[in-house]
Amino acid sequence: MGFAMVLPCNGVLVKLHDFDLSKEHGSASVAPHWTGTLPFMSIELLIHPGMEHKVGFDVEALIWTLLWIVRVYTDGQNTFKVKDHPLKNWFSNVDLAVIGNTKHHYLRGVEGFTNPSYSSLEGELRALVRKLYKMREAQQDTRFETNQPKLILEDVYGLEGLIRIEDWMRTTSPRWDVPRNTCPEPCGRHCSRN
């Protein structure tokens, strides 16, 4: 999963490119997982590799990507050396379950989720992190109560979970889902239309 940014507009248009299952022709995969870059993968796929894929795994990967960007990037650049990187625990271990548990612990945090460049988004990001954490905790409670440690709830990782995140977005930032043309040029090649 990655972002391509088109800068000629007033503001930035972000296009999501989801390459979870892509690879170069003729290359063999040696990864113990089948989707995503580790820092952005769903916690479930990290802790329980080989699970049946759910749409919510992609939604969670997008959330992790957003959290990474607002914590790490300043003016489009990652300015941290590995030893000082604020999220180095997301990628510095080869044990997938350790990375998953580290990310789950990050959701429980109360310190800032943004750097100074994105501080205006801190409230929204804190609310998003809290929403994801509560959804995951409800799933953990159900797993415990039913003695099904790998249970995946639809209201977390299925269509219901996606709708819950969409509802959060609508109440946090009304009209987030309505395309807006902010380009001063009438090019129409890369800008959404009203």
Mean pLDDT by 10 residues, the chain (194 residues): 50 51 48 59 88 85 87 82 80 84 86 85 86 90 92 82 77 61 55 43
Predicted confidence at residue 141, as pLDDT, reads 94
Predicted confidence at residue 148, as pLDDT, reads 92
Which range marks the domain in which residue 137 is found? 37-172
Residue 185, in any domain of the structure: no
Q: Where do we find the tokens 């892509």?
A: 22
Predicted confidence at residue 31, as pLDDT, reads 47
Torsion sign across C-alpha atoms 135, 141, 143, 146 = negative
Of the chain, the end-to-end C-alpha distance in Å amounts to 27
Number of domains in the chain: 1
Predicted confidence at residue 95, as pLDDT, reads 85
Predicted confidence at residue 29, as pLDDT, reads 46
- Residue 78: strand pairing partners: 73
Torsion sign across C-alpha atoms 126, 127, 130, 132 = negative
Residue 108, in any domain of the structure: yes
Predicted confidence at residue 144, as pLDDT, reads 94
Q: What is the pTM of this model?
A: 0.71
Predicted confidence at residue 175, as pLDDT, reads 58
Residue 47, in any domain of the structure: yes
Number of Cβ atoms within 10 Å of the Cβ of 120:
9
Q: Report the alpha-carbon angle 169-154-37, nearest 5.
A: 70
| CB distance 134 to 156 below 8 Å | no
Predicted confidence at residue 35, as pLDDT, reads 44
Residue 17, in any domain of the structure: no
